[in-house]
Every structure is written in structure tokens, then in C-alpha cells.
Amino acid sequence: MKQTILLGIALLAVAACGQEEAAQPATEVPVVVEDAITEEAADATEAIEAEVAEATVVEESAAEPEADEQAIMLAQADTSAVTREWQFQEGKHYARLMPTQPTLGGADKIEVAEFFYYLCPHCYSFEPIIKGWAETKPANARFVQVPAMWNQVLVLHARLFYTAEILARNGVIEDLAAFNTAVYEEIHRRNNQLSSEASILKLFERFGVSAEEFDRTWKSFEVDQKMRVASDLARRYSVASTPTIVVNGKYRTGAKEAGSYAKLLELIDELIVRESAR
């Protein structure tokens, strides 16, 4: 019986060391082992010690870091953009909108919105530049155009813009970019201000749109809704000139603030990086 009790004490001592060694350093504990322990008990103790040692080796040689370690590594990688030196300054090259305003699209992309109107000569010059940027924009960015509506002619042109957008989405207009170029050319090259619904219809007919398709889309609820949203965004963003760029409902800028169209594109890219680092 005395041998059995001593064997139990020895087994408990081995198990406790295996759980606590990683938490605190080992301390010397006086142990009294009597001569009555048999060779069978000693063999059993050695077997348990071997199993504990083997388990410890497996734990320490795990090939992959824990999930918490991975999260810490990712967080450290994301902070590089935050600590970098920026080329452009808030208050000088762009304005920060407070609070941040809604965007047209979802939060899955960083939205770059250009406010424009067809009669604006600066928008006409900027059109191929911003469209070229849009073709090579960062993968996490979305480019949208929003028509300004400061007078009745611009309201008419905003309706033109959204009518064409919907007809292109429905496959009626095959090349929306070519259509928009034609609108600019009609105004700035041919001196046709497109200031009436009849003159606008003739332009749509050149692109294969029937009078019935035009009239149905022109007067649709969807076009009305898009115009209401555009007007609301212009108010929220305090857009007072064109072309104006708003990045993600948070930063407002333009070529005047940036210094040139080339610098404006650099500024847009930098603001996208800022938003990506959030």
C-alpha cells in the first residue's frame, strides 16, 4: 500500500511540471523517495516523463504562427502608409469634408467623383485626362461622374447624361464614351448648345435611339431619382465650381488647388492611398 501511495505522488509531480514550466521557472522542491519504490514504478515514471517531453517538442515546433500572431503582422504591414510623408497638404491642396458625406456607390470601393457640366470648357479639356486615369485607376477605386445643375440648361444636360447612362446600361447605346464625346463636340466644336429637348433627341437618334425609347427613358422615375441624388450630393459636398473632384465623400479638390491637371491626378492617387490605410 505504501508503495502504491508513493507511486501516485510521483505521477502527480510529473503532470504538474508539464503544465506550469512555460508559465514560471522551475523551483527546487525537496522530494523524499523511499527505497521501497519498485523498478516497475520507476519505469512507469520514466514513460510518463518521455511522453511529456515529446508533447513539449511538438508544441514548440509548430510550423504556422497562431491567429493572433498573424493579425499582429498584418496590422503592422498596414501602418506603413500612415507614417509616410505626404506630398499634398490638407487646407492647401484639398479640403476635408466634416463630417464625411455619403457616396453614390457602396463601401466596397473608394469612390472618386467628378462634378462637371457639358458647357464647361475646363471640363471639356479635363474629360480625356480623367477618363485616361480611370482606365488605369487602382483596383480598389471606383470612378463616377456627377452633373452639376446650377441653372435650367444644366438641369436639361443632367437629364441628358442620365438618360444616356441608362440607355447604355440597357444596350441601346453601344458606346457611352463615344456618346459623351459627341455631346462635348456638339457644344464646343459645332456651337450647338443642346438647349432644347428636340435638339437633344436628334443627337440620341444619331446613336440609334428611337424617339419612343428616348421619351420613355427621358421621363422615367429612374432618371428623376438620379438627378435628385446628384443635386443632394453637390449640396453636401459644397461643390461651387467644375471640374471638382471628391474622394470617398471626404476630400474635395480641383486643378486650381492641386496646381495643374497632372498634379490633380497625383493628388487623387494620394488620397486613395490615405483612404486605403484606414
**CA separation for the pair 182, 188 (Å, rounded):** 10
**CA separation for the pair 188, 197 (Å, rounded):** 18
On whether residue 70 sits in a domain, the answer given is no
On whether residue 153 sits in a domain, the answer given is yes
User: 223 and 149: one domain?
Assistant: yes
**Model pLDDT, residue 18:** 35
**Model pLDDT, residue 68:** 45
Q: What is the pLDDT along the chain (278 residues), one digit of tens a residue?
A: 444 444 443 433 333 333 333 334 433 333 333 343 344 444 544 544 444 444 433 333 334 444 444 443 344 444 455 567 899 999 999 999 999 999 999 999 999 999 999 999 999 999 999 999 999 999 999 999 999 999 999 999 999 999 999 999 999 999 999 999 999 999 999 999 999 999 999 999 999 999 999 999 999 999 999 999 999 999 999 999 999 999 999 999 999 999 999 999 999 999 999 999 87
User: 149 and 18: one domain?
Assistant: no
User: 206 and 95: one domain?
Assistant: yes
DSSP strands (E only) in the chain: 95-96, 110-116, 141-147, 244-247, 251-253
User: 42 and 149: one domain?
Assistant: no
On whether residue 65 sits in a domain, the answer given is no
On whether residue 271 sits in a domain, the answer given is yes
User: 111 and 219: one domain?
Assistant: yes
On whether residue 39 sits in a domain, the answer given is yes
On whether residue 77 sits in a domain, the answer given is no
**Model pLDDT, residue 81:** 54
User: 54 and 94: one domain?
Assistant: no
**CA separation for the pair 248, 82 (Å, rounded):** 17
**Model pLDDT, residue 272:** 98
Please tell me whether the overall predicted TM-score, pTM, comes out greater than 0.75 for this model: no
Contacts 24+ apart (CB under 8 A), 134-141: 137/112, 138/110, 138/269, 138/272, 138/276, 140/109, 140/110, 140/272, 140/276, 141/109, 141/110, 141/111, 141/112, 141/272
Of the candidates 146, 148, 133, the residue with the CA atom closest to the CA atom of residue 272? 133
Q: How many domains is the chain partitioned into structurally?
A: 2
What separation in angstroms does the CA of 177 have from each of 12, 24, 257, 264?
A: 80, 70, 28, 22
Which residues are paired to 142 by β-bridges? 111
Of the candidates 237, 215, 117, 125, the residue with the CA atom closest to the CA atom of residue 163? 215
**Model pLDDT, residue 1:** 47
On whether residue 74 sits in a domain, the answer given is no
User: 96 and 50: one domain?
Assistant: no
Query: What residue numbers bound the domain in which 28 lies?
Result: 2-60
* CATH code at position 224: 3.40.30.10
**Model pLDDT, residue 82:** 55
User: 38 and 139: one domain?
Assistant: no
**Model pLDDT, residue 56:** 37
**CA separation for the pair 243, 253 (Å, rounded):** 9
User: 272 and 171: one domain?
Assistant: yes
86, 270 Cβ separation under 8 angstroms: yes
On whether residue 71 sits in a domain, the answer given is no
User: 118 and 204: one domain?
Assistant: yes
User: 95 and 194: one domain?
Assistant: yes
User: 105 and 234: one domain?
Assistant: yes
C-alpha cell at 82: 500612415
